[in-house]
Copies of this chain bind each other. A is one copy, B any other.
Amino acid sequence: MTQPKPFPLNAWYAAAWSHEIVHELAARTICGKDVVLYRKSDGAVAALDDACWHRLLPLSMGRLQGDHVVCGYHGLVFNDAGRCTYMPAQKTINPSACVKAYPIAEKHRLVWIWPGDPALADPALIPDFHWNDGTEWVGEGGCFYKLKCDYRLVIDNLMDLTHETYVHAGSIGDEAITSAPFEVTHTDRTATVTRWMIDIEPPPFWKKQLGREGHVDRWQIIYFQAPSVVVGDVGVALTGTGAPQGDRSQGVNGAFLAAITPETETSCHYFWNFVRTFRKDDHELTAAITKAHVNDGHGVYDQDHAVLEAQQVAIDRNPRLPFYNLNIDAGALWARRLIDGMIERESGAPAPVSRAAE
C-alpha cells in the first residue's frame, strides 16, 4: 500500500486571490498536482491539469482561444471541462482525449480548488473565511507562494502564539503570552485555542493601535478549520471594561487569516491577511499593517518564514528524530489529529506518522 500524502485531497484549498486570476493562463502546483487556471468570459474560473494529453507540454505555455486552451506545441485545443476539441491534421478526435478538470469555487476573495474526487466537491465545505470579505473587517494581505516547508509547520506555528515572544520580540511578542493560561476545545472539523492575558502592559503594536494609556486585557482566540485554515481573533481592551465577558467596545480588534495550501509534501502556498474592525477607512494604517507583516524580510511573517524553512531543513536532515511536545502544543496537536483523521478516512490507511503527534 502506498504511503498516503500528508494532506487530504478531498478538501477545498486556496489556489489564488481572486484578483490574481484574469483571462490569462496561470500555473500553480496544488497538493502535488500541476494545474493551469484562467478566468472565462462568463467570469467563472476554470482549472485544468497543466500537461497536454498528447505530449505533456504544460498547457500554461500555450494560449487562450476564447475560453479554450490551445497547447503551445501541436495546437491541441481543450475546453474548460478538459475535453479535447481540436487535433491537428485529423478529422476525428480520440474520444478519450482529455485532461482533468478541477472543481473551482470563488468565495471570500479567494479562488478555491478541490484536488480530489470531483463528485465530493461540496461548496458547503468551503472554509468559513468571511473575515476576508473586505466588508465587516478590512485589510490587504497577500500570498507567500512556494514557502519551503510542510504546510503543517505553518499550522503548528499559528496554533501556538508562544513563539511570538521569541520570534517577534519587540513588536507583538510579550512574556505575558508565555505565562498566560489557555484552553483548547474542538469539534470534528475545528479546534480552538483561547488565551486571555488579564491586566497586562500592552505590547508596542497593540498599545499604538489602542491609542490610550493603561493596562489591558489581551485575547488570542485561534480557530482552526481542517485541513488548513486558521483564523486568529486577537486584540486588547482596557482592563476592567468587560472584554472577557464579551464587551470589546473599549478595545481594538484584529484577526490574522491564514489559508495554507500544500504545494508539495515539503512546500506550501500561504495566503495571509491581517484584518481589523477599527479605523477601517484609514488606508495608511492598512498599508502600514501589511508592511509590518511582510517587508522584504523584515516583517513579522518574514521572521516566521526564516524559522519555518530552517525547521523543514532540519527535519529533512534528521528524518528519524521525533518531535517532542510541550503543553503549548495542545492546539497544534488537535489540528494534526483532525488532519490525520481526514487523510485516514480518505485513503483507508493510517496517516503518515505525524512527527508532531508522537
Contact A326 B61 (CB under 8 A): no
Say yes or no: is A349 at the interface (Cβ < 8 Å to chain B): no
Say yes or no: is A34 at the interface (Cβ < 8 Å to chain B): yes
Contact A73 B315 (CB under 8 A): no
A97 to B276, CA, bound (A): 40
Q: Which of A74, A75, A306, A323 gathers the greatest number of chain B CB atoms within 10 Å?
A: A74
A54 to B311, CA, bound (A): 11
Contact B58 A310 (CB under 8 A): yes
- Chain A residues 47 to 73 lying within 8 A of chain B, measured CB to CB, are 51, 53-58, 61-62, 70-73
Taking CB atoms, residues of chain B closer than 8 Å to A56 are: 311, 314-315, 318, 321, 323
A326 to B166, CA, bound (A): 59
Q: Closest CB of chain B to A281's CB: distance in Å?
A: 37
Q: Which of A58, A75, A318 gathers the greatest number of chain B CB atoms within 10 Å?
A: A75
Contact B162 A314 (CB under 8 A): no
Say yes or no: is A89 at the interface (Cβ < 8 Å to chain B): yes
- Say yes or no: A88-B165 contact (C-beta < 8 A), given A34-B317, A97-B324, A310-B61: yes
Number of identical monomers bound together in the oligomeric complex = 3
Q: Mark A195-235, 1 if CB is under 8 A from B, else 0.
A: 00000000000000000000000000000000000000000
Say yes or no: is A241 at the interface (Cβ < 8 Å to chain B): no
* Interface size counted on chain A using CB atoms at 8 A: 49
Taking CB atoms, residues of chain B closer than 8 Å to A166 are: 62, 70-75
- Say yes or no: A58-B163 contact (C-beta < 8 A), given A74-B328, A89-B327: no
Say yes or no: is A307 at the interface (Cβ < 8 Å to chain B): yes
Say yes or no: is A81 at the interface (Cβ < 8 Å to chain B): no
Say yes or no: is A340 at the interface (Cβ < 8 Å to chain B): no
Contact of A323 among B54, B61, B75, B163 (CB under 8 A): B54
Say yes or no: is A160 at the interface (Cβ < 8 Å to chain B): yes
Say yes or no: is A9 at the interface (Cβ < 8 Å to chain B): no
Taking CB atoms, residues of chain B closer than 8 Å to A328 are: 74, 88-90
Taking CB atoms, residues of chain B closer than 8 Å to A61 are: 306-307, 310
Q: Mark A146-189, 1 if CB is under 8 A from B, else 0.
A: 00000000001000101101110000000000111010000000
**5 A-B pairs in the complex with CB atoms less than 8 angstroms apart:** A56-B315, A61-B310, A72-B167, A72-B307, A75-B178
**Interface, chain A (partner B; CB < 8 A):** 34, 51, 53-58, 61-62, 70-75, 87-90, 94, 97, 156, 160, 162-163, 165-167, 178-180, 182, 306-307, 310-311, 314-315, 317-318, 321, 323-328, 356
